[in-house]
């Protein structure tokens, strides 16, 4: 009974409850006290800047989609839209989700599985295209 | 910043336990892992859509399908409404980031303000999506629609571009089949996304109530706002991809 190590109990509470005291640097490594400080205003400015970038890119995409996409080769349209979408995604993930502010190994851990997606997308789209080709060109016996 | 200094010195101290090797809390890291898994789910849906589309001889033209705007009657305004929806969601993402920023500085009043605006944005988006669904449903679209082979072509002509309709495969059944496939995917994917937006709004309301009650102030940090913010940005990110795949490509 007297073998209870109270320090372990306290630690357990922190792991399972409020973690702010466990990772003493982690929770408040951003924790400053003046929201009107220059640092804070800079970050807010950065956030709005990214908003304008996202808005501009979306407007460009919609204009191209409405007026020009029918007069361009399909592959170019696809490449263009996907490139702009990835551009937007990059900004949202790195600035809005703060992934860009995390440790490098953490960023890599999140991004590497997503590169598998490139293979996933290419494989299935090529497969679909191949099925269509086979179904429309193989001669009837 | 002592944490980060230790991180670069010895491997042992980094993975020895009792600290976070990545300097993030358990909750935040798990939220990132959940978002990764959810990204795979949405990705699988979108890739499935792409495969079916590549497998089809003809496919509906988004400029023809999505040309309506609320209160504008039958005016032809291609892609305008969905652009408004995209703008609303991006705006709500910005207000969310501002709420998280306020949380970093313990600024309770601003956390409340920006959370409120994010909730408003989410509800506006859901309302727009509901209008879009209702409008399309009135044109006959739903899960499992357009399966009757005797459906006159006039019913689906409004969804295709003139160039596509000239293709002989269109009249030979591919037009009907692709309309059926298109709407199955559309309602499933936007529905699944809408479900995420709705649950996000619920979480945001809970966070707002907790903020107002001072729960996070007592705790000493607003990390819950940050975690819900990650979820909300993920929802916005998915919409960016859905918007591209369904409406632009």
Domain count, chain B: 1
A19 occurs within a structural domain? no
The ipTM assigned to this model is 0.75
Q: Quote the CA–CA distance of B51 and B19 in Å, as a whole number.
A: 45
A79 occurs within a structural domain? no
| CATH number (domain holding residue B191) | 1.20.120.80
CB within 8 Å of B165: residues ≥ 6 apart: B157, B175
Residue B121 C-alpha from the chain's centroid? 13
Give pLDDT tens digits for B141-186. 899 888 888 888 888 888 888 888 888 878 778 888 899 999 999 9
Among B42, B43, B63, B90, most A C-beta atoms within 10 A, so best to mutate, is B90
Quote the pLDDT of residue A2.
Answer: 47
Nearest CA in chain B to A54: B90
B48 vs A105: CB contact, 8 Å cut-off? Answer: no
Please state, rounded to an integer, the average pLDDT across all residues of chain B.
87
A128 occurs within a structural domain? yes
Structural domain including A131 reads: 102-141
Nearest CA in chain A to B38: A114
Q: Quote the CA–CA distance of B200 and B234 in Å, as a whole number.
A: 10
Nearest CA in chain B to A36: B105
Q: In Å, how far is A6's CA from the nearest CA of chain B?
A: 16
A138 occurs within a structural domain? yes
A33 vs B32: CB contact, 8 Å cut-off? Answer: no
Domain count, chain A: 1
The alpha carbon dihedral of A42, A47, A50, A55 has a sign of negative
Look at A71-75, A106-110, B180-184, B235-239 and tell me which has the smallest mean pLDDT.
Answer: A71-75
First to last CA, chain A: 85
A53 occurs within a structural domain? no
Structural domain including B194 reads: 30-248
List of E strands, B97-184: none
Interchain CB contact of B93 with A (< 8 Å): yes
Quote the pLDDT of residue B130.
Answer: 95
Q: Quote the CA–CA distance of B85 and B247 in Å, as a whole number.
A: 12
Quote the pLDDT of residue B48.
Answer: 93
Q: Quote the CA–CA distance of B114 and B102 in Å, as a whole number.
A: 9
The answer, yes or no, to whether residue A32 has pLDDT greater than 70, is no
Chain A residues whose CB is inside 8 A of the B249 CB are: 77-78, 81-82
Quick count: other Cβ atoms within 10 Å of Cβ A70?
A: 13
A117 occurs within a structural domain? yes
């Amino acid at each position: 009974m007297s073998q209870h190590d109270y320090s372990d109990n306290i630690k357990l509470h922190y792991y399972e409850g409020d973690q702010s005291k466990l990772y003493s640097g982690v929770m408040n490594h951003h924790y400053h006290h003046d929201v009107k400080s220059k640092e804070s205003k800079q970050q807010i400015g950065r956030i709005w800047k990214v908003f304008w970038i996202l808005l501009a890119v979306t407007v460009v995409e919609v204009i191209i989609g409405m007026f020009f996409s029918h007069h361009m080769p399909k592959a170019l349209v696809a490449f263009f839209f996907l490139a702009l979408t990835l551009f937007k995604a990059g900004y949202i993930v790195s600035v809005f989700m703060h992934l860009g502010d995390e440790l490098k190994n953490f960023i890599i851990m999140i991004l590497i599985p997503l590169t598998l997606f490139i293979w996933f997308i290419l494989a299935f789209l090529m497969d679909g295209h191949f099925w269509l080709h086979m179904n429309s060109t193989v001669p009837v016996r | 910043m002592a944490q980060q200094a230790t991180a670069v010195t010895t491997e042992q101290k980094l993975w020895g336990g009792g600290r976070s090797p990545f300097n993030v809390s358990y909750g935040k890291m798990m939220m990132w892992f959940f978002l990764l898994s959810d990204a795979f789910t949405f990705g699988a849906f979108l890739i499935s859509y792409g495969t079916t589309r590549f497998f089809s001889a003809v496919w509906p033209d988004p400029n023809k399908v999505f040309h309506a705007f609320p209160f504008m009657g039958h005016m032809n305004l291609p892609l305008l409404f969905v652009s408004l929806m995209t703008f609303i969601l991006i705006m709500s993402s910005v207000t969310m980031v501002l709420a998280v920023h306020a949380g970093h500085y313990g600024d309770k009043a601003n956390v409340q303000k920006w959370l409120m605006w994010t909730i408003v944005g989410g509800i506006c988006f859901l309302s727009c999506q509901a209008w879009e669904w209702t409008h399309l449903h009135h044109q006959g679209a739903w899960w499992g629609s357009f399966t009757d082979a005797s459906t006159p072509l006039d019913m689906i002509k409004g969804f295709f571009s003139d160039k596509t309709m000239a293709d002989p495969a269109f009249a030979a059944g591919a037009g009907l089949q692709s309309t059926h496939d298109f709407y199955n995917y559309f309602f499933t994917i936007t529905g699944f996304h809408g479900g995420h937006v709705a649950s996000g709004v619920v979480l945001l309301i809970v966070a707002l109530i907790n903020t107002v009650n001072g729960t996070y102030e007592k705790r000493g940090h607003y990390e819950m706002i940050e975690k819900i913010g990650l979820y909300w940005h993920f929802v916005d990110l998915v919409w960016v991809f859905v918007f591209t795949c369904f409406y632009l490509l």
